[in-house]
Amino acid sequence: MYDYDVIIIGGGLAGLTAAIHLSQEKHEVLVLEKNPYPHHKVCGEYVSNEIIPYLNKLGVPLKNSRAVQIDKLQLSTVSGKATHAKLPLGGIGISRYRFDALLYEKALENGVQFAFESATAIAYADDSFLVTTANNTTFSSRIAIGAYGKRSTIDKQLNRDFIQRKSAWLGVKAHYQWDAFPENQVALHNFKGGYAGLSKTETGAVNFCYLASYKSFQEEKSVAGFNAKVVAKNPFLNDFLAKATPIFNQPITIAQLSFAAKQSVENHIIMCGDTAGLIHPLCGNGMAMAIHSAKIASEYIHNYLTEERYSRTQLESDYTTAWSTSFKSRLWMGRQLQALLLSENLSKLALKMVTTSPGLLRKLIRNTHGKPIAC
Ligand SMILES: Cc1cc2nc3c(=O)[nH]c(=O)nc-3n(C[C@H](O)[C@H](O)[C@H](O)COP(=O)(O)OP(=O)(O)OC[C@H]3O[C@@H](n4cnc5c(N)ncnc54)[C@H](O)[C@@H]3O)c2cc1C
């Protein structure tokens, strides 16, 4: 016998969405999450509208969250040459502090069990999983979902390919008060060795979040020094840093960000969200992909748990194919765009092209996003 039908490691957007979906199908679900809610996370906090129909169907009360509606994109190069575009589908601005907690509350209401512990090991044997936590507690289940984000000790235990390689990126995020920033806009400003996103959240605060290469960051060693000497070289970011008031005591950071390809199933564990693959943040689509991958996984897992003839092999094969069909080309496009944006000369040329042809920019945005998720 098992303790649960499904154990989900990691209660971020992917893990919580799968928990809500599977509990609605009346499966017994345990989420292992290392940090109690609510908590801040490094993230641009712009969520593509493609996930709204699905979250509505799951009964997540997004309407009460006071998330702001965003339909405009501003882009600028290091020297401050800028362009605007209307976002084809648009999105919402909501802090991860609120968004994750909203999903957590819905999962609790559905009867999902939570243990605020770090999972340290997962073993598959005799057609079931045994998950061990840092407190040496063990839990068993028929299905295990890996939704623990960008990297974790579990990746080391599974000896995943990407974890062997050092990654050259870090992320920084903080909230600021700056009323002059337009509520309906997300801005993407380039600087040497990285780029920063600015957008408003449900509290009225502006989220300032950037991705930077270690190479450029290492020369300054502190966030304050890096902001002053590198980030502020972009006139838009200089203006923002001069006029906006920090709300956080300290920015939060995340290191060792890897954009390498990953497997969507490892040792029979179904991987969702960033655990299956991280899209470059400039695309503003990682959260939608995390939620969408959780939907796809939950549908196949429900088949496995309810249909005797639907085997684990079939589940793993169907999920791998569906994941690849849904996300592989978006990840590829994200890689190309990031390479373009980080080359000073190419980004100038690209900006010139998209300024003269707004249709081209809309096409690029469409290619890094999905359509509204069909329910
Ligand atoms: C700089 C930056 C900016 C971004 N901006 C945007 C944006 O504007 N829009 C967008 O859509 N996407 C953006 N993204 C991507 C987005 O943040 C991710 O794609 C999204 O958070 C993925 O959700 P997830 O559920 O897979 O992972 P997460 O949200 O990271 O959740 C993983 C959870 O697992 C928990 N966990 C980890 N290890 C363990 C363990 N061993 N045991 C128990 N729990 C564990 C963590 O505490 C965490 O809560 C950005 C990413 C970066 C780096």
The CATH number for 40's domain is: 3.50.50.60
The DSSP code sequence of 267-333 is: TTEEE-GGGT----GGGS-HHHHHHHHHHHHHHHHHHHHH-TTS-HHHHHHHHHHHHHHHHHHHHHH
Those residues whose C-beta lies under 8 Å from the C-beta of residue 49, and which sit 6 or more positions away, are: 89, 90, 91, 92, 372
Average pLDDT, integer, range 317-346:
87
Distance 15 CA to ligand 1 centre (A): 10
Ligand 1: atom nearest CA of 275 is: 26
Residue 355 has pLDDT above 70, yes or no: no
Asked if residue 375 is part of any domain, the answer here is no
- Whether residue 271 contacts residue 264, with contact meaning beta carbons closer than 8 Å, is answered with yes
Confidence check: pLDDT of 284 > 90: no
Decide: 251 in ligand 1 pocket, CB within 6 A: no
Q: Output b/e per residue, 58-70; b: 16+ Cβ within 10 A.
A: bebebeebebbeb
Residue 216 located in a structural domain? no
In the block, which residue shows the tokens 């996103």? 197
Beta strands 128-133 and 68-76: pairing type? unpaired
Question: Could you tell me if residue 73 is inside a domain?
Answer: yes
Q: Is residue 251 part of a domain?
A: no
Q: What would the pLDDT profile of 87-146 be if each residue is shown by its tens digit? A: 989 999 999 999 999 999 999 999 999 999 999 999 999 999 999 999 999 999 999 999
> Ligand 1: does its nearest atom lie under 6 Å from the Cβ of 211?
yes
Q: How far from 207 is each of 224, 240, 310, CA to CA, in Å?
A: 16, 11, 45
Q: How confident is the model at residue 358 (pLDDT cuts 50, 70, 90)?
A: low
Distance CA 55, CA 21 (A): 10
Give the number of the atom of ligand 1 that is nearest the alpha carbon of residue 210: 1
Q: How far is the CA of 12 from the centre of ligand 1 (A)?
A: 6
357, part of any domain: yes
Pocket test for ligand 1, best of 20, 32, 34, 43 (most atoms within 8 A of CB): 43
- Ligand 1 atom closest to Cα of 186? 8
Query: Which pLDDT belongs to residue 372?
Result: 87
pLDDT band, very low/low/confident/very high, at 339 (cuts 50, 70, 90): confident
Nearest CA to 59 out of 28, 23, 93 is that of 23
Atom of ligand 1 nearest to the CA of 35: 47
Q: Report the distance separating Cα 133 and Cα 137, nearest Å.
A: 5
Mean pLDDT computed over every residue of the chain: 93
| Per-residue pLDDT at 248 exceeds 80 | yes
Q: Is residue 174 part of a domain?
A: no
Q: Whose CA is nearest to atom 18 of ligand 1?
A: 286
Instruction: Kindly indicate the confidence band of residue 150, based on its pLDDT and cuts at 50, 70 and 90.
Output: very high
Q: Is residue 245 part of a domain?
A: no
Count of domains in the chain?
1
pLDDT, tens only, 24-63 = 999 999 999 999 999 999 999 999 999 999 999 999 999 8
Q: How confident is the model at residue 205 (pLDDT cuts 50, 70, 90)?
A: very high
Q: Which of 152, 162, 201, 192 is nearest to 45 (CA)?
A: 201
Beta strand 46-48 pairing with 4-9 = unpaired
Ligand 1 and 169: CB distance under 6 A: no
Decide if 341 is inside a domain: yes
Residue 249 has pLDDT above 80, yes or no: yes
Domain that holds residue 364: 4-166+257-368
Q: Is 331 in the pocket of ligand 1 (CB under 6 A)?
A: no
